[in-house]
Amino acid sequence: MSTLDTDVVDAAFVDAVTAAADAAVDQLLAGDSPASLGDAPLGPHRESMRRAKLLVVAYLAPNSRRAGDRRLTDAAQEYAAALEAMQSRTGLFLGGDNVESPPDSGFTINDLGDVLELIARSDARSDLSRLDALLRSIADRATPAMLAGGVHTPNHRWELAAALTRLHRVRPDESLRARIEQWLAEGVDIDGDGLYSERSANYAAHVSNPSLLVIADALQRPELLDVVELNLTATLGLMHTDGSVETVHSRRQDQQTTRFPLAPYALHFRRLAIERGRGDFAWAARRALAEGIAEPQTALAELLLHPVLSAPLPAEEPPPVPARSTWGESGLVIDRTPRRTLVVYGGSDYRAFRRVRSGLANNPTFLRMTAGPVVLEGLRLSREFFGLGPFRADAMEHTADGLVLREELTPAYYQPLPAELRRADGRYELVDEGRFAAAMAFDRRPADIVSLRTRIDVRPTDDGAELVIATEGPSSGWALELAFREGGSFEGLEPVGDEAFVLSEGWGRYRVGNAAMEFGPGAGVGGRPRYSPGEDYDYVGGTDALPGPRAYITGRSPGTVHLRLRAVD
C-alpha cells in the first residue's frame, strides 16, 4: 500500500530479523523448541504451522544462511502433514481447550495463508509445489467452517476476519468477502482513549493490530490503519522507562502480569512510522527491536510480504512525556516527575458483575510506583470483611490536588421469607447473592445491609504520593500490601513469613543499591499482615496474590489513616 522507494534498505534491521529466524531454524533442526514457536515438536496445530512457516520463510529469504536448503522444505512438509492429521472432519483443527474452535483454527489459517502467498510470489514455486498443494488442500477443507464459524472473545472477530481475508487472497470468493464485511460492520471495538475493549496489550499486539493491518491491505480499507495508529499512539503513553507497557487496567490475562514487553509491537510501529512519517513511532520501533525479535517467523514473513518494512525509519522523535496522562474510559492515570512514576488505577469491573471472570477487569492493584531501580509493583488493600476480597475501585474522581478512588461493599443478612412466599417442602430457588449461592431465594427476602465504604485519596508529590485511607462501616481489620520487584531488601520492618514483613510503627524502606523507597508511618495494631484474595479465589484454593518481597501496614475500620510513599537516596 506504499509507493516508497525500497531500494534503500535498513540493512541492520533486515539482518537482525534474518539472524533471529536463522537461529530459530538452527534450534528447530537440532531438535530443540524455540520459545517463540511453542513447545510441541509436531504437536498442536498452531505450533506445527508456526514451524512450517519458519522453515519456508528462511528457505525463501535471499539473505538467510538457509536460503535454498532443501532440508527446510522437507521438514516443512512433515509439519504440514502433521497439521493435516489434526484437521477434523469439520475442517477445523483438533487440540487445545477450545474444542472445534473457528478462531483458534484461525490463528493457524493465518500463518498458512501467509505461506501460500509467499509461495505464490516466489521464483521457487516449483520447489515448493508439494507443500503448496498440501496447504491449499488444508485451506480448502477449512474454508466452509471458517466461513460459518463464530467467536467468543472480542479480538476473535478480527482474527477470524483476517483468516478469511487470507483465504480470499488465495482463492478470491465473494462469500468470503461478504462474511468479512459482516464482521467489520459491527465496528472495531476501540474506545476514545485508543484502547480496544479488552484493554489488553497482549491481544492488541498479537491479534487485533496485525489482523486489522492485513484486512486493510487486502481489502483496501485504509480506515483500519487509522484504528491501528490510534492504538499505537495510546501505547506510547502506556510505556514505562524500561520499555514495558502498563497492563494493570487490562480485562484479560495480562492484567496479572507486571507490565508487557514492547517487542511484539515492533513491526506495527515500524510500518506506520515509515508509511505515515511518524518519528515517535520510529523511536518506539527502535526501542521494541532492542528487546529482540518476538516472533522470527512472523517478522521475516512480514518483511518478505511487505518490502516497505525494510526501508529506513524516519528521523526519531522521542514522544513528549506529559506530567500526567489519563485514560478516562479505563480509569487509569500515569503521573510522572523526574523522581518517580505513579500509576493510579480505578477502573475495575468487579462491582458491576460481583465476580472474578476472564474478560473482566479484576486487578485489585490501585497504585504502582517506580523510582529508579526501585519498583513498587502493586499497592493493594486487603480486608477482613465477609470474604469479599481486596479493595477494587470502579471509578476515579479528579480533584484539585489529586485523585479519589471509592468503593462500597453491601453484603447482607437475610430475614425470614414473607408468609406468602413460604413453601412447605422447603424448596426455593438457587440464587447467587454476590458472595454466596444457596437454594434460599435470597432475592425475595428482606435484607439487613452491612456496608463498608472505602475512600482512598491519592495526592501525588514530587517524590512520591500521600495517601489518605478513610473507611466507614463495622469494626474490621485491613492490611495494606506493598509488593516490590525482586532485587532489594527491607529496612525497619519485622519478618512475618516468606518474603513478608510488617511495619508496626514508624517508617520502613525498600532499598535497591543506593536508591530506596520509604513508606509509612505504621498504623499500629490492625488486621492480620497478609493478603486475602477473597471468596472467589479461596473457595477453589486459588489466589491472585503478587509474588516477591511484600510489606504490610495494618489498621482497622472505621477510621482514617494517612500514609506516604517517597523516593529517597
pLDDT at 4: 38
Pick the closest to residue 395 from 434, 355, 358, 361 (CA basis).
361
Beta 452-461 vs 402-409: how paired, if at all? antiparallel
Q: Is the pLDDT of residue 196 over 70?
A: yes
3 state SS of 565: strand
Pick the closest to residue 154 from 200, 115, 109 (CA basis).
200
134: domain CATH number? 1.50.10.10
Q: What percent of the chain lies above the pLDDT cut of 70?
A: 96
Q: Are residues 393 and 423 in the same domain?
A: no
- Structural domain tally of the chain? 3
170/213 Cα distance (integer angstroms): 17
Residue after which a domain boundary falls, among 389, 423, 449: 449
For the segment 8-21, the average pLDDT, to the nearest whole number, is 95
Q: Are residues 436 and 494 in the same domain?
A: no
In a domain, 29, yes or no: yes
In a domain, 315, yes or no: no
CB 277 within 8 A of CB 287: no
Written as one string, the DSSP assignment of 253-322 is GGGGSS-B-SGGGHHHHHHHHHHHT-HHHHHHHHHHHHT--S-HHHHHHHHHH-GGGGSPPPPP-PPP--
pLDDT grade for 3, boundaries at 50, 70 and 90 = very low
Give the H or E element holding residue 162: helix 154-170
Q: Is the pLDDT of residue 316 over 60?
A: yes
Q: Are residues 351 and 293 in the same domain?
A: no
In a domain, 318, yes or no: no
Q: Are residues 468 and 515 in the same domain?
A: yes
3 state SS of 13: helix
Rg (CA), the chain: 27
Render pLDDT for 142-174 as a digit per residue (tens, 0 to 9). 999 999 999 989 999 999 999 999 999 999 999
3 state SS of 423: coil
Beta-bridge mates of residue 345: 332
pLDDT grade for 560, boundaries at 50, 70 and 90 = very high
Q: What is the pTM of this model?
A: 0.91
In a domain, 68, yes or no: yes
The backbone torsions φ and ψ at residue 167, rounded to the nearest 5 degrees and listed phi first, read: -65, -40
In a domain, 52, yes or no: yes
Q: Are residues 247 and 164 in the same domain?
A: yes
Q: Are residues 335 and 438 in the same domain?
A: no
In a domain, 563, yes or no: yes
198/359 Cα distance (integer angstroms): 7
3 state SS of 33: coil
Q: Is the pLDDT of residue 256 over 70?
A: yes
CA dist list (Å): 352 to 180, 355, 447, 450: 33, 9, 20, 18
312/268 Cα distance (integer angstroms): 15
Q: Is the pLDDT of residue 42 over 70?
A: no
Q: Is the pLDDT of residue 40 over 80?
A: no
Q: Are residues 428 and 534 in the same domain?
A: no
In a domain, 317, yes or no: no
428/22 Cα distance (integer angstroms): 66
Q: Are residues 483 and 378 in the same domain?
A: yes
Render pLDDT for 266-279 as a digit per residue (tens, 0 to 9). 999 999 999 999 99
Residue after which a domain boundary falls, among 310, 336, 351: 310
Q: Are residues 330 and 289 in the same domain?
A: no
Mean pLDDT, the chain, as a whole number? Answer: 92
Q: Is the pLDDT of residue 336 over 50?
A: yes
For the segment 117-125, the average pLDDT, to the nearest whole number, is 90
Q: Is the pLDDT of residue 5 over 70?
A: no
Residue after which a domain boundary falls, among 392, 420, 449: 449
Measured in whole angstroms, how far is the alpha carbon of residue 509 from the centre of its chain?
Answer: 31
In a domain, 4, yes or no: no
Q: Is the pLDDT of residue 2 over 60?
A: no
Other beta carbons less than 10 A from residue 441's beta carbon: 17
pLDDT at 1: 31
Beta-bridge mates of residue 491: 509
Q: Which residue has the higher pLDDT, 6 or 435?
A: 435
Q: What percent of the chain lies above the pLDDT cut of 90?
A: 80
Q: Which residue has the higher pLDDT, 387 or 237?
A: 237
Render pLDDT for 295-304 as a digit per residue (tens, 0 to 9). 999 999 999 9
pLDDT grade for 37, boundaries at 50, 70 and 90 = low
333: domain CATH number? 2.70.98
The backbone torsions φ and ψ at residue 441, rounded to the nearest 5 degrees and listed phi first, read: 50, 50
Q: How far apart are the first and last CA of the chain?
A: 53
Q: Is the pLDDT of residue 335 over 50?
A: yes
Q: Is the pLDDT of residue 39 over 80?
A: no
Q: Are residues 25 and 150 in the same domain?
A: yes
Range of the domain at 547: 324-410+451-568
Q: Are residues 41 and 156 in the same domain?
A: yes
Q: Are residues 263 and 337 in the same domain?
A: no
Number of H helices, E strands in the chain: 15, 19
pLDDT at 33: 59
Q: Is the pLDDT of residue 185 over 90?
A: yes
**Cell (9 digits) for 267:** 513491526
**Cell (9 digits) for 354:** 460481583
**Cell (9 digits) for 452:** 463498608
